């Protein structure tokens, strides 16, 4: 495909209502995801196995619910790793990738800001900030985060496979991969 043809296709995509609707959806679901997911941590003073499970389920159920709501509009990526993987495999274009990542970043900032404003000062703490535990080396934390992100992206792509004949829930399987990642990584990062 020539550069001229690609530029024409890009211009045509950028002026469509459906393109900007999908970008708005990415902003909204990322905002809600951060607000709800990080909000599940606001009242935690002393982490325990029960709180780890609560947080993992909150993030996973939020992912599944939001994916069910807007997956048919934008794909409900809610994560730049998924968006970048879709670009790398040619499933989405550069313009959509850039706009989605900007929308996801702005949505995450807005969700965190709303949570901060809606939470009493005594509960602010870290508000869901990810940090490396004291006895974990940065390379170990990177490896863990890389692997749980890989599982998330792998699950997302498994649901895109056109040859699948099972009738499982795409949103539920991706949400469960988020639960799995949180349960595994929460003690490390």
Neighbours of 148 (CB within 10 A): 20
Q: Could you give the domains of the chain?
A: 16-185 (1.20.1080.10)
pLDDT at 44: 67
> Dihedrals φ, ψ of 127, to 5°?
45, 45
- pLDDT, averaged per 10 consecutive residues of the chain (189 residues), comes to 72 82 97 94 71 92 96 94 96 93 98 92 74 90 96 94 83 95 89
Q: What pLDDT score does 42 carry?
A: 78
Q: Annotate the chain with three-state secondary structure.
A: CCHHHHHHHHHHHHCCHHHHHHHHHHHHHHHHHHHHHHHCCCCCCCCCHHHHHHHHHHHHHHHHHHHHHHHHHHCCCCCHHHHHHHHHCCCCCHHHHHHHHHHHHHHHHHHHHHHHHHCCHHHCCCCCCCCCCCCCCHHHHHHHHHHHHHHHHHHHHHHHCCCCCCCCCHHHHHHHHHHHHHHHHCCCC
- The alpha carbons of the chain give a radius of gyration, in whole angstroms, of 18
Angle ∠(164,169,173) on CA atoms, nearest 5: 95
pLDDT of residue 105: 98
Residue 124 class from Cβ within 10 Å (0-12 exposed, 13-18 middle, 19+ buried)?
Answer: exposed
What does the alpha-carbon distance between residue 95 and residue 92 come to, in Å, rounded to a whole number? 8
CB atoms closer than 10 angstroms to residue 89: 10
Which residues fall within 8 angstroms of residue 138, CB to CB, at 6 or more apart? Answer: 132
How confident is the model at residue 103, as a pLDDT?
98
At residue 49, the pLDDT reads 66
């Amino acid at each position: 495909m020539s550069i001229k043809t690609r530029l024409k296709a890009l211009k045509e995509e950028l002026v469509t209502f459906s393109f900007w609707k999908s970008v708005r959806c990415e902003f909204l679901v990322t905002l809600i995801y951060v607000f709800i997911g990080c909000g599940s941590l606001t009242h935690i003073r002393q982490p325990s196995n029960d709180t780890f499970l609560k947080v993992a389920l909150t993030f996973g159920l939020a992912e599944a619910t939001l994916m069910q709501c807007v997956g048919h509009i934008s794909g409900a990526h809610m994560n730049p790793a998924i968006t970048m993987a879709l670009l790398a495999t040619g499933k989405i274009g550069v313009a959509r990738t850039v706009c989605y990542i900007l929308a996801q970043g702005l949505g995450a900032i807005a969700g965190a800001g709303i949570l901060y404003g809606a939470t009493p000062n005594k509960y602010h703490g870290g508000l869901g900030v990810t940090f490396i535990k004291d006895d974990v080396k940065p390379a170990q934390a990177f490896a863990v985060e890389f692997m749980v992100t890989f599982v998330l992206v792998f699950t997302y792509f498994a649901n895109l496979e056109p040859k699948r004949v099972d009738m499982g829930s795409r949103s539920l399987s991706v949400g469960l991969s988020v639960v799995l990642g949180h349960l595994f990584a929460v003690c490390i990062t």
